[in-house]
């Protein structure tokens, strides 16, 4: 969406804060021995308390309040009572929701407890690349150039990107134009970022895979060549200079 009034900006700030606070508190609440269903229910309670409604439930009938992906899962992991978190797990939580007709989206990956698999560098690179990408976004910048930046930065760090997952416009629904803010260069995409528009920017940085394949459950995505993937995401408002990070309260860069 494009922000045309203070009321619209306030609406986006409210829902962005709701999803950001939910993500932050879910990360802090996660402990070894907890099921992903327990963690998801905790997040659902926070959203409900804030008056927000789960976007994946509302839009797609997703079987969870949030998406919780663990270890080899890239995205859209279904929370269940059978999936028990363990120390050293790479966990990704993606929280998106609606409040008063406004929608926002954010996510982050983290290591639970001790880093047995030495994946903290992957998580850190994903954060750093997202920060760099967002710092380069302003009205008039080509979307493809940001994809090129993400892909180049990942390669220089010794990693790959997932090429079939993307950031997107957001605001009046969960997914809006532009739909394909890719993590790689698309020479056929001539779209440019528009001042005052709202987008969700996300990184998918991988150790081995370059594409995400959907599993038999119809939701969970796993890398085509195995390994691990770290994802970080902010909802931002584009300006003529530095973007406004609406989901900054999630503290994924801390």
Task: Give the tens place of pLDDT for each residue, 55-109.
Answer: 999 999 999 999 999 999 999 999 999 999 999 999 999 999 999 999 999 999 9
Residue 155 lies in a domain: yes
Contacts of 86 (CB under 8 A, 6+ apart): 32, 112
Domain that holds residue 168: 6-250
Contacts of 252 (CB under 8 A, 6+ apart): 23, 106, 108, 127, 232, 234
Residue 202 assigned to a binding site = yes
Residue 209 lies in a domain: yes
Residue 175 assigned to a binding site = yes
Tell me how many domains the chain contains. Answer: 1
Residue 100 lies in a domain: yes
Residue 164 lies in a domain: yes
**Which DSSP string corresponds to 12-60?**
HHHHHHHHHHHHHHHHHH--TT-BHHHHHHHHHHHHHHTT-EEHHHHHH
Domain containing residue 58: CATH number: 3.90.230.10
Residue 241 lies in a domain: yes
Residue 223 lies in a domain: yes
Residue 1 lies in a domain: no
Residue 190 assigned to a binding site = no
Residue 226 lies in a domain: yes
pLDDT in tens, 132-170: 999 999 999 999 999 999 999 999 999 999 999 999 999
Residue 7 assigned to a binding site = no
Does this model's pTM top 0.85? My answer is yes
């Amino acid at each position: 969406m494009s922000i045309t009034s203070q009321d619209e900006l306030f609406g986006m700030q409210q829902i962005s804060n709701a999803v950001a606070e939910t993500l932050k508190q879910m990360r802090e609440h996660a402990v070894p021995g907890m099921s992903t269903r327990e963690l998801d229910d905790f997040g659902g309670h926070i959203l409900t308390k804030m008056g927000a409604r789960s976007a994946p439930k509302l839009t797609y009938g997703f079987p969870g309040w949030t998406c919780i992906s663990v270890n080899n899962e890239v995205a859209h992991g279904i929370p269940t009572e059978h999936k028990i978190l363990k120390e050293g797990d790479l966990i990704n939580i993606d929280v998106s929701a609606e409040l008063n007709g406004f929608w926002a989206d954010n996510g982050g990956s983290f290591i639970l407890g001790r880093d047995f698999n030495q994946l903290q560098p992957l998580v850190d690179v994903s954060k750093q690349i997202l920060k760099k990408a967002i710092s380069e976004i302003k009205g008039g910048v080509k979307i493809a150039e940001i994809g090129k930046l993400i892909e180049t930065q990942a390669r220089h760090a010794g990693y790959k990107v997932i090429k079939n997952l993307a950031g997107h416009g957001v605001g009046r629904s969960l997914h809006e134009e532009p739909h394909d803010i890719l993590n790689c260069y698309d020479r056929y995409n001539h779209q440019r970022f528009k001042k005052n528009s709202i987008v969700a920017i996300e990184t998918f940085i991988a150790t081995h895979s370059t594409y995400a394949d959907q599993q038999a459950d119809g939701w969970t995505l796993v890398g085509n060549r195995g390994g691990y993937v770290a994802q970080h995401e902010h909802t931002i408002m584009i300006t003529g200079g530095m973007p406004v990070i609406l989901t900054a309260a999630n503290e994924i860069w801390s």
